[in-house]
């Protein structure tokens, strides 16, 4: 069996477990306020690659930890990621009409409820960590996720992204934006998996570096797909980044050179992962990321 078959089987086996666990984490549909919970469920249960939860589980697997112990952390990062998508799509941010092949939450439920649904998912993510992990792991995982999601990570990156619209940034400025906006959450995902799997400090550092490189790879490939794909293929609007004057490596360097940067980062993640007890699935994911079409 090839490494690509291995990682695809890993994802196919564990994605349904993540879906079931997410269903258990979400408030009951009939609980009041029912419309808020409907909006939260619409956002979370509307598909998606579940890539960040898979990275949590890969982090646990790479240190030979129990995958079941990492499932709450996998759900927490997906809840938080979904909140960020809802808020990203709002008219005051990227003003998108389509997400995961369906109308965005604010188009279905209105802007106010979409904002509150995102708030509900953000706070639920930390409730899940606190309630479903053992206390030492819960505290550590919450600290890692909070830092990655906040002003020093994802939210800070979103601010840089908005400020960069219509400006020509240098390569290092774009990479900093990508590391904060996207890669910080990938880095946290791998580290949270390591925490749940009983990783040593050195291993957590390695997992953080892997996430930073693969998260940046993911963003570069995403920017390339935005230029090349169709709304039907991507499940969201295509070529909108260029229309809004977003700062991306493909626009700065050209598509071929940006793709080369993505390959280099992917290989860097593969190289550093070899210091872990079981790196093979992470290596396979790194190479699969370069091949994705949506």
87-106 mean pLDDT = 94
What pTM did the predictor assign? Answer: 0.95
CA distance 62 to 73: 16
Q: Is 19 exposed, middle or buried (0-12, 13-18, 19+ CB in 10 A)?
A: middle
In this prediction, residue 153 carries a pLDDT of 98
pLDDT bucket at 123, cuts 50 / 70 / 90:
very high
CA distance 163 to 159: 6
CA distance 150 to 180: 9
56-85 mean pLDDT = 98
Which stretch of DSSP H or E encloses residue 98?
strand 98-99
In this prediction, residue 238 carries a pLDDT of 62
CA distance 50 to 79: 10
CA distance 217 to 229: 17
Task: Report if residue 271 sits inside a domain.
Answer: yes
120-136 mean pLDDT = 97
The per-residue pLDDT for range 141-183, each reduced to its tens digit, is 999 999 999 999 999 999 999 999 889 999 999 999 999 999 9
In this prediction, residue 166 carries a pLDDT of 87
Task: Report if residue 34 sits inside a domain.
Answer: yes
Task: Report if residue 140 sits inside a domain.
Answer: yes
The per-residue pLDDT for range 244-294, each reduced to its tens digit, is 778 899 999 999 999 999 999 999 999 999 999 999 999 999 999 998 877
Number of neighbouring beta carbons within 10 Å of residue 167: 10
Task: Report if residue 294 sits inside a domain.
Answer: no
In this prediction, residue 143 carries a pLDDT of 98
Q: Is 82 exposed, middle or buried (0-12, 13-18, 19+ CB in 10 A)?
A: buried
In this prediction, residue 160 carries a pLDDT of 96
> Can you list the alpha helix ranges (DSSP code H) found in 179-254?
184-196, 201-228, 231-234, 240-243, 249-253
In this prediction, residue 244 carries a pLDDT of 76
Asked if the model's pLDDT at residue 2 lies above 80, the reply is no
Asked if the model's pLDDT at residue 138 lies above 80, the reply is yes
pLDDT bucket at 140, cuts 50 / 70 / 90:
very high
Task: Report if residue 79 sits inside a domain.
Answer: yes
For residue 200, the SS3 value is coil
Structural Rg of the chain based on CA atoms: 18
The per-residue pLDDT for range 6-60, each reduced to its tens digit, is 999 999 999 999 999 999 999 998 999 999 999 999 999 988 899 999 999 999 9
The answer to whether residues 45 and 121 touch, using CB atoms and an 8 Å cutoff, is no
In this prediction, residue 289 carries a pLDDT of 93
CATH of the domain at 210: 1.10.600.10
Asked if the model's pLDDT at residue 211 lies above 70, the reply is yes
CA distance 96 to 167: 21
74-96 mean pLDDT = 97
Count how many domains the chain has.
1
Query: Average per-residue pLDDT in the chain?
Result: 94
pLDDT bucket at 232, cuts 50 / 70 / 90:
low
- Domain of residue 274: give its range: 3-289
In this prediction, residue 4 carries a pLDDT of 83
In this prediction, residue 142 carries a pLDDT of 98
The answer to whether residues 70 and 196 touch, using CB atoms and an 8 Å cutoff, is yes
In this prediction, residue 47 carries a pLDDT of 82
In this prediction, residue 46 carries a pLDDT of 84
């Amino acid at each position: 069996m090839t490494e690509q078959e291995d990682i695809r089987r890993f994802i196919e086996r564990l994605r349904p477990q993540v879906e079931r666990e997410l269903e258990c984490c979400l408030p009951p549909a009939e609980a009041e306020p029912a419309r808020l919970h409907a909006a939260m469920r619409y956002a979370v249960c509307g598909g998606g690659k579940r890539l960040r939860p898979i990275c949590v589980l890969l982090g646990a697997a790479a240190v030979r930890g129990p995958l079941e112990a990492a499932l709450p952390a996998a759900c927490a990062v997906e809840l938080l990621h979904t909140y960020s998508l809802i808020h990203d799509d709002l008219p005051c941010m990227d003003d998108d009409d389509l997400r995961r092949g369906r109308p965005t939450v604010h188009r279905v439920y209105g802007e106010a409820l979409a904002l509150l649904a995102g708030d509900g998912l953000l706070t639920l993510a930390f409730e899940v960590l606190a309630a479903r992990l053992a206390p030492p792991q819960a505290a550590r995982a919450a600290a890692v996720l909070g830092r990655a999601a906040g002003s020093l990570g994802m939210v800070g990156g979103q601010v840089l992204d908005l400020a960069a619209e219509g400006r020509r940034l240098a390569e290092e400025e774009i990479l900093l934006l990508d590391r904060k906006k996207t890669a910080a959450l990938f880095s946290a995902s791998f580290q949270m998996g390591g925490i749940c799997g009983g990783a040593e400090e050195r291993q957590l550092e390695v997992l953080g570096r892997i996430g930073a490189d693969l998260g940046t790879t993911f963003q570069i490939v995403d920017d390339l797909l935005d230029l090349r794909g169709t709304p039907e293929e991507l499940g969201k609007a295509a070529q909108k980044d260029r229309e809004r004057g977003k700062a991306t490596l493909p626009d700065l360097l050209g598509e071929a050179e940006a793709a080369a940067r993505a390959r280099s980062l992917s290989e860097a993640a593969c190289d550093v992962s070899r210091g872990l007890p079981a790196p093979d699935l992470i290596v396979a994911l790194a190479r699969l990321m370069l091949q994705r079409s949506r």
